[in-house]
Amino acid sequence: MVEGFRGQSGFATFGMPLHCDFYAPDWRLIIEYDERQHFTAPRAEALSLYPDGLPLGFQRDEWISACRAIKAHDRMVNKHSAGYTLTMKKTTLQIDEELVSRAREILQTKGLQATVQRALEEVLALDARRRAIEQLRHLDGLDLDQPEIRAEAWR
């Protein structure tokens, strides 16, 4: 299924790390926050194949609807794209080498492209975390203030 969307069968390339939101190596745990970029057509298709009655921590139909509404671009590299995704382009920028050097050290990246990419990812992840915190602070769109819901959350 994914091969039909992406034009490739592999998910990760050997030797190239996958980026995730949180990683706890001692627990062998990866936590991935569902940000907008995850709501893609391939994900909607995959979710539609889940068996009915499968216990999930989310409402499958709501996630499928969100994927169809958001229509995020699938970010996996296509083998015919010379290393670029549909949302990437080659460009020329003037960059402060001092800032890049400091960012490279903090982000533990190698090279300008990796440093800029990781810095942009970090900014977007920070924004997503801030929005999630605000949503929790104000219970915006959440039903956590309802006792019956809270009681079920701590089973």
Residue 143 has pLDDT above 80, yes or no: no
What is the per-residue pLDDT across 44-94, written as a single tens digit (0 to 9) for each?
A: 888 888 888 888 888 889 989 998 888 887 655 444 444 444 455 667 778
Residue 126 has pLDDT above 50, yes or no: yes
Enter the pTM of the model: 0.41
Structure tokens at 131: 């929005």
Structure tokens at 144: 């956590």
Collapsing DSSP to helix, strand or coil, 21 comes out as coil
Instruction: With beta carbons less than 8 A apart as the criterion, state whether 1 and 45 touch.
Output: yes
Alpha carbon distances (Å) from 45 to 13, 54, 81, 100: 23, 16, 23, 39
Which candidate, 69, 72, 71, 90, places its Cα nearest to that of 81?
90
Instruction: With beta carbons less than 8 A apart as the criterion, state whether 73 and 87 touch.
Output: yes
Instruction: With beta carbons less than 8 A apart as the criterion, state whether 115 and 108 touch.
Output: no
What is the per-residue pLDDT across 85-117, written as a single tens digit (0 to 9) for each?
A: 445 566 777 888 999 999 999 999 998 888 988
